[in-house]
Amino acid sequence: MELFKKIKQITHLMKQIDFKELGEISEKIDLPKIMKSVGELDDNQLKGLMKMLTEKAKKGQHKLPPIDGDFYDYDLKLSQEQRDIQMKVRGFMETEIDPIANHYWNKAEFPMEIIPKMAALNICGVAYEGYGCPNLPFLMEGIIAEELARVDVSISTFFGVHSGLAMGSIYLCGSEEQKQEWLPKMQKMEAIGAFGLTEPNVGSGVAGGMETTCQKVGDEWILNGQKKWIGNATFADVIIIWARDVDDNQAKGFLMRKGNPGYKAEKIENKMALRTVQNALITITDCKIPEGDRLQKANSFRDTAKVLRMTRAGVAWQALGCARGAYESALKYTKKREQFGKPIAKFQLIQNHLVEMLANLTAMKAMVFRLSELQDQGLLTDEHASLAKVFCSMRTRDVVSRAREVMGGNGILLEYDVARFVADAEAIYSYEGTKEINSLIVGRAITGYSAFV
Ligand SMILES: Cc1cc2nc3c(=O)[nH]c(=O)nc-3n(C[C@H](O)[C@H](O)[C@H](O)COP(=O)(O)OP(=O)(O)OC[C@H]3O[C@@H](n4cnc5c(N)ncnc54)[C@H](O)[C@@H]3O)c2cc1C
């Protein structure tokens, strides 16, 4: 065999090996130097080297699938520890969730049995400090949201409500005592949280128009009203309820414990998106809540907004995950599906769709990555998060619809793993601030004019 051919083969094999796995060596690898040394090996030595590399490369092929939706290799910017967490989450989603996702989505039920397995990943409150939380950069919260949504947006929403909105409300607005009581058990998913802000009559305008009221009577608060769309609320152990204080007209937050006699949560039926998520219509009738269960640092809607600012970045990442899941399924399909005697991936118009999807994914990834960097540097503003939410939820709609398109009729069948993303993208588009409301937040910031009303 010619030396040139051998070197080419060796280079190819080396490209398939994850040198990060080799630890320190990865930092010091110098491919041109290695190639020069390879050129100096005799035939036997070359054969031995090729055997070793072939085995390594084969091993690599049994790992989880390559990250083909991360075209600019943003994930290479992660540390080994961060990458390991990402792979752990991916492994969980592909082995535990992927096989059951369509089934539960179809039945509109939540797979309660996955909670202990998810808890074992140790990813709740990933960026929070103390209370058993991992205290990693916010970037990891984004990476986790992307990985969860890449397989199942419902699971990612369940997680985002619990770990982001509910734990986040306690983390940012709770007293030390409240944090000590709730965060460690929520971190281990021994207690599940929900977040009740939206109401039947007020969604986008909730900051000024909240109808749910609270009133202090002695050492207790009396709450009355309704909340709509509240994820996890049919089974959650603690539901953060936001209410307007009739005395000072300010928003206050409460820890509503499961089993409070005045609390009723009815599952919202007939959803066409995020069907696995248990969204509820909550009715609160003369609910008594002790002062000790009022979030002690939530004194106006500005405090509620702090929680939303922290979690909105995660929704942009979730949009990316949703788009990526659809793109990766569609790409695989186009290579297998044959029409006119060849794989449809060979057709120019199909490739055009795939490239537009990938361009959108790549732009989204660049945007959310930088967004999380800003968050980790303490520089994140509402308008930063809103711009990412606007852009990513719009682009995701485009990606999932193209993914559906390249799959023809099969694109609307659940088992082809794109239809669910198409439907779920619609919910992402509307929750945590619709596209219009987030646009108005950015519009106000760049023009100085508020155009909300
Ligand atoms: C699947 C799902 C899960 C959810 N989970 C939760 C949850 O766990 N907790 C929670 O509290 N909420 C939750 N929500 C509620 C969500 O945050 C709201 O749906 C969202 O804020 C929009 O409110 P709305 O649906 O009442 O729409 P509306 O506010 O009625 O808006 C209707 C339309 O009018 C537009 N609009 C409104 N005001 C303006 C304006 N000033 N200028 C221009 N356009 C405007 C909107 O953009 C939208 O297009 C969830 C929603 C969904 C769909």
Q: What is the pLDDT of residues 76-128, one digit of tens each?
A: 999 999 999 999 999 999 999 999 999 999 999 999 999 999 999 999 999 99
Residue 256: closest CA among 338, 320, 170? 170
**Ligand 1 atom closest to Cα of residue 196:** 11
User: Hey, what domains does the chain have and what are their CATH numbers?
Assistant: 2-60 (no CATH), 306-447 (1.20.140.10)
Q: Which of 165, 284, 434, 438 for a ligand 1 pocket mutation test, highest count of atoms within 8 Å of Cβ?
A: 434
Q: Compute the Cα dihedral for 431, 168, 70, 360 and give only its sign.
A: positive
Q: What is the pLDDT of residues 248-276, one digit of tens each?
A: 999 999 999 999 999 999 999 999 999 99
Angle of the 138-151 helix axis to the 80-92 helix axis, nearest 10: 30
Q: What is the pLDDT of residues 152-182, one digit of tens each?
A: 999 999 999 999 999 999 999 999 999 999 9
Does any ligand 1 atom lie closer than 6 A to the CB of residue 21? no
Q: Which of 227, 229, 240, 311 for a ligand 1 pocket mutation test, highest count of atoms within 8 Å of Cβ?
A: 229
* Cβ contact 243:223 at 8 Å: yes
**Ligand 1 atom closest to Cα of residue 233:** 8
Which residues share a beta bridge with 342?
339
Query: Considering only 20-24, 62-66, 97-101, 254-258, which range has the smallest mean pLDDT?
Result: 20-24
Q: Ligand 1, atom 25: nearest CA belongs to which residue?
A: 203
As a whole number, mean pLDDT of residues 56-68 equals: 52
Helices and strands of the chain, counted as H and E runs: 17, 9
What is the whole-number distance in angstroms between the Cα of residue 323 and the centre of ligand 1?
21
Element at 323 (helix H, strand E): helix 301-336
User: What are the start-end ranges of the E strands in 28-181?
Assistant: none
Q: 379: exposed, middle or buried (C-beta count within 10 Å: 0-12, 13-18, 19+)?
A: exposed
Residue 156: closest CA among 169, 168, 167, 143? 143
Q: 234: exposed, middle or buried (C-beta count within 10 Å: 0-12, 13-18, 19+)?
A: middle
Which residues share a beta bridge with 294?
254
As a whole number, mean pLDDT of residues 373-386 equals: 96
Does any ligand 1 atom lie closer than 6 A to the CB of residue 231? yes
As a whole number, mean pLDDT of residues 211-238 equals: 98
Does any ligand 1 atom lie closer than 6 A to the CB of residue 13? no
Does any ligand 1 atom lie closer than 6 A to the CB of residue 230? yes
In this predicted structure, the answer to whether residue 5 has a pLDDT above a threshold of 80 is no
Which amino acid type is present at position 146? E
Q: Ligand 1, atom 45: nearest CA belongs to which residue?
A: 436
**Ligand 1 atom closest to Cα of residue 232:** 8
Query: What is residue 69's predicted lDDT score, i.e. its pLDDT?
Result: 87
**pLDDT band at 68; cut points 50, 70, 90:** confident
Does any ligand 1 atom lie closer than 6 A to the CB of residue 279? yes
What whole-number distance in Å separates Cα of residue 155 and Cα of residue 69? Answer: 20
Which amino acid type is present at position 320? L
What is the whole-number distance in angstroms between the Cα of residue 449 and the centre of ligand 1?
22
Does any ligand 1 atom lie closer than 6 A to the CB of residue 196? yes
* Cβ contact 238:193 at 8 Å: yes
Query: What is residue 26's predicted lDDT score, i.e. its pLDDT?
Result: 43
What whole-number distance in Å separates Cα of residue 404 and Cα of residue 218? Answer: 58
Q: Which of 198, 276, 394, 449 for a ligand 1 pocket mutation test, highest count of atoms within 8 Å of Cβ?
A: 198
Of residues 47 and 305, more confidently modeled = 305
Q: What is the pLDDT of residues 397-421, one digit of tens each?
A: 999 999 999 999 999 999 999 999 9
